């Protein structure tokens, strides 16, 4: 079994990776307004409100048929993530990252945090990019802003990441970016002619997940994330097991709701960790399910040539963040 999946892993033509973002490289903007009340226990859970901003490239750089496919399935993917969130009474997307002093390791930097997409509200007296008062219209009545762009990258199917967070929270993201490779969209259109739109829909759900909650950097910010997202070696996690490969890097998550679902799914009440991909490049390792461990899950690190599905385990992980309440009847 293991050999078969390993083979498929290499046969799959391309890997869906996502961007690396490192919060520690950003200096939070000094806030002059009162931060949200951290004791959020009593705040109501309400349906999330998304706003999608399409870059010109989505209309100018690909055929109309692909623009339509992309928009249709992105809308469908967001509908799947029709989760509930807790929000402040007077909510707007507050700019939480200081671009001028940050290292540009984040794909969002020049795109979203530039003055071109000037939808952030800024702290009083802030003079950084995107905080110009003139003609400034901040987005209100929205919980999460999506920025969608098409790129000329032939290496990557698609990529996504979170770009900004709600101040006063454990890095709860509120802006995300999704990039699509032009070549990839062409291939998808051909595949869709043969087998329908499920594959594209799945890839979109995969990418949306990365920017909402499914990423090693975000897991570190989950409650008790420093303990429940582990990078170690296999020999340390399973010392009782002998054999080759025991010195390999081991990534695992043990967030309570997701672990409970995985134990049920695998019929293994003693399971300690959901294994996370330990191979692949930056962005693949550490931020996907291990393809041997959950081969049929949408959040594996590649795009296999067989059907995969979104599971209760992943929805439960979404809840483990503390940021969302999900409807399990969707899977
Ligand atoms: Zn991915």
Three-state DSSP at 173 gives strand
Q: From ligand 1's centre to the CA of 12, what distance in Å? A: 14
Among 11-15, 92-96, 273-277, the range of highest mean pLDDT: 273-277
Using one digit for the tens of pLDDT, what is the confidence trace for 140-179? 788 998 989 898 877 778 888 888 888 777 888 888 889 8
Query: What is the band of 98 on the pLDDT scale with cuts at 50, 70, 90?
Result: low
Q: Are residues 162 and 299 in the same domain?
A: no
- 186, 212, 238 - which closes a domain: 212
Do 119 and 168 belong together in one domain?
yes
Pairing of strands 84-86, 158-165: unpaired
Report the pLDDT averaged over residues 268-296.
Answer: 93
- Domain span including residue 286: 1-15+215-331
Last residue of a domain, one of 164, 191, 212: 212
Q: Which residues are annotated as a binding site for Zn(2+)?
A: 206, 210, 288
Tell whether 124 and 251 lie within a shared domain. Answer: no
Question: How many Å apart are CA 233 and CA 230, to the nearest integer?
Answer: 9
Q: Where are the beta strands (DSSP E) in the chain?
A: 45-47, 50-54, 84-86, 144-151, 158-165, 173-181, 229-233, 249-253, 274-276
Condensed to tens digits (0 to 9), the pLDDT of residues 65-78 reads 999 999 999 999 99
d(CA 127, CA 92): 19
Distance 127 CA to ligand 1 centre (A): 35
The tokens for 284 are: 């693949």
Q: Give distance in angstroms: CA of 285 to centre of ligand 1.
A: 9
Task: Judge if 76 and 52 occupy the same domain.
Answer: yes
As beta bridge partners, residue 230 has 252
Q: Are 177 and 149 in contact (CB under 8 A)?
A: yes
Residues serving a catalytic function are 207
Q: For 291-311, what is each residue's pLDDT tens digit?
A: 999 999 999 998 888 889 999
Average pLDDT, the chain: 80
Q: 23 and 171, same structural domain?
A: yes
Higher pLDDT, 177 or 138: 177
pLDDT at residue 92 is higher than 70? no
Q: What is the CATH number of the domain that holds 168?
A: 3.10.170.20
Count of structural domains, the chain: 2
Residues 197 and 248 in one domain: no
Going from the Cα of 300 to the center of ligand 1, the distance in angstroms, rounded, reads 7
CA 18 centroid distance within chain: 8
204 and 102 together in one domain: yes
**What is the pTM (predicted TM-score) of this model?**
0.84
Residue list for the binding site? 206, 210, 288
* Final residue belonging to a domain, choices 178, 212, 246: 212
How many angstroms does the Cα of residue 309 sit away from the middle of ligand 1? 14
Q: Are residues 258 and 183 in the same domain?
A: no
285 SS3 class? strand
39: CB partners within 8 A, 6+ apart = none
Residues with Cβ within 5 Å of ion ligand 1?
A: 16, 18
Residue 164 and residue 116 share a domain: yes
Q: Say whether both 126 and 253 belong to one domain.
A: no
In this structure, the answer to whether residues 279 and 308 fall within a common structural domain is yes
User: How many CB atoms sit inside 10 A of residue 285's CB?
Assistant: 19
């Amino acid at each position: 079994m293991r050999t078969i999946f390993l083979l498929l892993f290499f046969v799959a033509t391309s890997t869906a990776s996502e961007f690396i973002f490192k919060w520690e490289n950003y200096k939070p903007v000094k806030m002059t307004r009162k931060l949200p009340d951290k004791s959020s226990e009593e705040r109501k859970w309400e349906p999330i409100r998304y706003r999608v901003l399409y870059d010109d490239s989505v209309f100018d750089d690909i055929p109309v048929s692909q623009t339509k496919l992309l928009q249709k399935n992105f809308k469908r993917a967001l509908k799947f993530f029709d989760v509930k969130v807790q929000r402040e009474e007077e909510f707007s997307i507050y700019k939480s990252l200081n671009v001028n002093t940050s290292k540009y390791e984040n794909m969002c930097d020049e795109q979203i945090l530039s003055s071109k997409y000037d939808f952030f509200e800024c702290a009083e007296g802030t003079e950084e990019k995107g905080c110009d008062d003139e003609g400034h219209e901040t987005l209100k009545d929205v919980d999460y802003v999506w920025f969608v762009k098409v790129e000329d990258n032939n290496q990557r199917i698609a990529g996504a990441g979170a770009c900004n967070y709600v101040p006063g929270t454990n890095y709860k993201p509120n802006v995300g970016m999704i990039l699509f490779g032009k070549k990839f969209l062409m291939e998808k259109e051909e595949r869709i002619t043969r087998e329908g739109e499920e594959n594209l829909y799945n890839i979109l759900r995969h990418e949306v997940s990365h920017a909402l909650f499914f990423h090693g950097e975000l897991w570190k910010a989950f409650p008790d994330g420093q303990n429940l997202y582990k990078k170690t070696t296999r020999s340390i996690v399973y010392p009782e097991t002998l054999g080759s490969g025991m010195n390999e890097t081991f990534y695992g998550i043990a967030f309570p709701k997701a672990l409970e679902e995985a134990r049920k799914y695998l019929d293994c009440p003693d399971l300690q960790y959901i294994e996370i991909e330990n191979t692949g490049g930056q962005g693949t390792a550490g931020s996907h399910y291990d393809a041997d461990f959950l081969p049929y899950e949408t959040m594996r690190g590649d795009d296999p040539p067989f059907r995969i599905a979104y599971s209760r385990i992943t929805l439960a992980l979404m809840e483990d963040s503390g940021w969302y309440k999900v409807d399990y009847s969707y899977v």
